[in-house]
Chains A and B, each alone.
Chain A
Amino acid sequence: MSPLVNIIVGLAMGLNLLALGSSRLPSVIRAMAVQGVLLGMLPLVIETDFDWMVMLVAVVTMAVKGVLIPTLLRRAMRAANIEREMEPFIGFVPSLLLGAAGTIAAIAGARALPLLTEHADTLLVPGALASVFTGFILLVGRAKAISQVCGYLILENGIYLFGMLLIHSTPLLVESGILLDLTVGVFVIGIIMDRIQRAFDSLDTRKLTALRE
């Protein structure tokens, strides 16, 4: 199973860097969506026996992460009338470098972890760590709420990758629960973004500091 899995995870890691390096919001959303679809395919690759439950979850995951959430985000983006992340806290090149360093550190660090032998030769753990780290960079380094939602989703993708390690012991039902939470979360954030947009005429979260009390 390893070669295919490694290729998929490697692609996802590349998409991380794409999301970090691009200033246009549509490409960030697209990177995230493609990553979601790729990861949705993983259970089908890992699970050798055909199981209709696995199948169902994989399809739903791909549909939600690849279609539903990106559609919602694009709509929000159009409503807010923003295309670009203009003033990130951490610039695009520095965040790209940080992400690359994080990816390398994840691969190096994963070797030090006491993993099962069957996981040791896959990219699952480094990929998960790298995605989580990318998500954090996006959350911390971006000013626009939409970019932060993307960061949050990439972070979730990393957690999902971790979940793949336990695919034999955790029912995919748990993962589908997480997926449901995520969708609701994106809905809520979408609504909040809409409200913020109407109230402040901007989606720049830096302008929300007056709400700190």
Chain B
Amino acid sequence: MMSGPLLLLGGIGLLAGIVFGRRRPRLWLVATVIGNASLIVAAALVLSGPDDWQWRNGFPIGGELLHFRLDGLSGLFLLLLGIVGAAGAIYAREYWSDEHHAESAPRGRAWWSAMILSMTTVLLSSNGLHFLIAWEVFAVSSFFLITLDRANREVRAAGWLYLACSHVGTLCLFGFFATLAARTGGWELGPMREQAGLAPLLWLALPGFALKAGLFPVHIWLPSAHANAPSHVSALMSGVAIKLGIYGLLRFSGWLPVPAALGPVVISVGAVTALLGIAFAFAQDDVKRLLAYCSVENVGIIFVGIGGGLLGMAHADAPWGRVLLAGALLHVWNHGLFKALLFLCAGSVLHATGTREMTRLGGLWRTMPWTASLFALGSVAISALPPLNGFVGEWLVYLGLFDASTSHGPAAWAAMPATLMLATAGALALATFLKAGAVIFLGVPRTRAAGHAHEGGRLMRGPMLALAALCVGTGLAPVLLWPAINRAVGVWNSSWVAGAPPAPLLTLGLVNLTLLAAFAAGSVWLWRKAHANGFRRGLTWDCGYAAPTPRMQYTGGSFAGIVTGWFAEILRPERVQQRPRGPFPSSARRIQRAPETVLERVIAPAAAGVLRVSSAARRLQHGRVQFYILYLTGGLTALAIIVWWGGIQ
């Protein structure tokens, strides 16, 4: 089988990327792209063929023999990793170039290859110890990528927060893998569904992987890390890195026995995450924070799908479980593509204008038509509108949820509320991206920087176009991707291996094609008609103002105001307001900010309390030898009393 040599080639390419990254940018690009391409081909081979790829070696690392495995599940994630990894590498050549970032660009290239290599190792490892090592390298390399622009204080803060959160998750995973190894007698991983005693271990794995995936309320690291990282890094983080958390949960819920309560828990946490994630996203003014919160929402959708799969498995392998799991996997793939695309578009805007704040942008579609149209395409996809790929994945999730809701079992109680919350989240997602697209690209420029924007070069546009093409392709022909999804579903639960796609998938592809054809025909007709009548350029909505200025536009905050009000209990928006007073007001202002509530209202006060207690305890360590001896005496006396007391009893 060809996968082995291809994976070896991929590894060599990425290693060469790490070596050449600092000094030889062109060689780095070639090596990294070749490496990623071989990963893509290897994954595609495994996904299309019937067999898994396995490789064992007598060479021990850390006392454990190497064992790599590429099956349907890891193959799907590896495919996504290869695509986003290659696209981001090409994009970074122009976006984070040596001319503009002389100090950080070489580091960024080396860490990029390192991060992809470590993520590949995570996906391939079939040994708990090596999984943990690769997981740690992956976390550290993404920390260094997030903090590429480390001169900036905010970036450093985001990096530390990420590192801390990531290690809390890793701690859970340490517990998980160590207990697993102790129970099974070895670090070797593999299917072990029959050992029913292992089921409670998944409760340890869930928080560890959920932290990486960014599930509410442990998503706190995600917005600042995604916003402050360079955009190609955000694309990789949001598109693939957080998916590794999902991969972990899928991997181990597929191999280990599943506790009965896991399905309902995952599905409800997922639904809450989806709703709150998009509510937070809607309130944001920073475009990359908005996209980051939107990732939280999408992770929620994926978790609803996974939870549904778990629920279905617990209900005698109900067919709706299969549909839900397939929907989740499809959404993993889709979200990886369109979220990477959207982050690259946001990076393009940032590159052109130097700001992420939407209230300083506006009217960019004139100067950046490519970015504007690709952002629009990504928005359509992420809002799950037909005919693009987002619709396909979410539609499967909805289908499964409907079937589960009408199944008249206890599953309906979990599925029904999830359906409602998901539907609300979907509507808000559309509104969010309407806001983002409209405020950034429509209207007139709000600042001078936005007025002087320019389109990025070919190296930036190419990867965006490729990702967009994949989004369109998946939307129009989801049937082509079905074998891969089916492989992954079959790996997760072998009784769902039945090959035929759910019939609607084929119909859906046809409907999408028809829709696209109708859309194209309509556009051509409109274009023709417009040309026949001639153009006249004017203001979009004049509204009868005598002298309109760029300030007389809807801002992102005003657009989101009402919905932010609905969720005010959780969002807790902060307002500074000075109303205009008198007939000739000299000044008035209104500043609104949407804080990261969980971090700033829950975690930060708790951490401050811990810090206070520990600094009080630090006073005990004052450096006076005499008192240290007193402590010793006191401790000894207390011990003696305890022993004496014990003797009396």
**Same assembly:** yes
* Residues of chain A at the chain B interface (Cβ within 8 Å): 89, 136, 139-143, 148, 205-206, 208-212
Task: Tell me if B624 is interfacial: C-beta within 8 Å of chain A.
Answer: yes
On chain B, the residues within 8 Å of A208 by CB distance are 623, 625
Instruction: Answer yes or no: B587 CB below 8 A from chain A CBs.
Output: no
Q: CA separation between A211 and B625, bound complex, in Å?
A: 11
Binding site for A on B (CB under 8 A): 621-627, 629-630, 633
Q: Which of A143, A210, A211, A212 is close to B626, meaning CB atoms less than 8 Å apart?
A: A143
18 contacts between A and B (CB under 8 A): A89-B626, A136-B629, A139-B629, A140-B626, A140-B629, A140-B630, A140-B633, A141-B626, A142-B626, A143-B626, A148-B625, A205-B624, A206-B624, A208-B623, A209-B622, A210-B623, A212-B621, A212-B622
B645 to chain A, nearest CB (A): 14
Residue of B nearest to A206 (CB): B624
CB-CB nearest in chain A for B618:
A212
Question: Closest Cβ of chain A: how far from B132's Cβ, in Å?
Answer: 33
Instruction: Name the B residues within 8 Å of A148 (CB-CB).
Output: 625-626
Beyond the given A139-B626, A140-B629, A206-B624, please list 18 additional residue pairs across the A-B interface where CB-CB is below 8 A.
A89-B626, A136-B629, A136-B633, A139-B629, A140-B626, A140-B630, A140-B633, A142-B626, A143-B626, A148-B625, A148-B626, A205-B625, A205-B626, A208-B623, A208-B625, A209-B623, A209-B624, A212-B621
CB distance from B8 to the nearest CB of A (A): 50
Residues of chain B contacted by A89 (CB below 8 angstroms): 626
What is the CB-to-nearest-CB distance from A161 to chain B, in angstroms, rounded to a whole number? 18
Residues of B within 8 A of A205 (CB): 624-626
Give min CB distance, B277 to chain A, whole Å: 43
Of all chain B residues, the one with the shortest Cβ separation from A137 is: B633
CA–CA, A212 and B633, complex, Å: 20
Top 3 nearest A-B pairs by Cβ distance?
Answer: A212-B623, A209-B623, A139-B629
The interface centre, meaning the residue of B621, B622, B633 with most chain A CB atoms within 10 A of its CB, is: B633
B648 to chain A, nearest CB (A): 11
Cβ–Cβ < 8 Å partners of B627 in chain A: 140
CB distance from A169 to the nearest CB of B (A): 22
User: Residues of B contacting A143 with CB < 8 Å?
Assistant: 626
The residue on B at minimum CB distance from A113 is: B644
Chain A residues within an 8 Å CB radius of B633: 136, 140
- Looking at the assembled complex, report how far the CB atom of A202 sits from the nearest CB atom of chain B, in whole angstroms: 14
Residue of A nearest to B629 (CB): A139
The answer for the CA separation of A211 and B624 in the assembled complex, in Å, is 10
A28 to chain B, nearest CB (A): 16
Name the A residues within 8 Å of B625 (CB-CB).
148, 205, 208
Q: Which residues does chain A contribute within 8 Å of B623, judged by CB atoms?
A: 208-212
Q: How far is the CA of A136 from the CA of B239 in the complex (A)?
A: 65
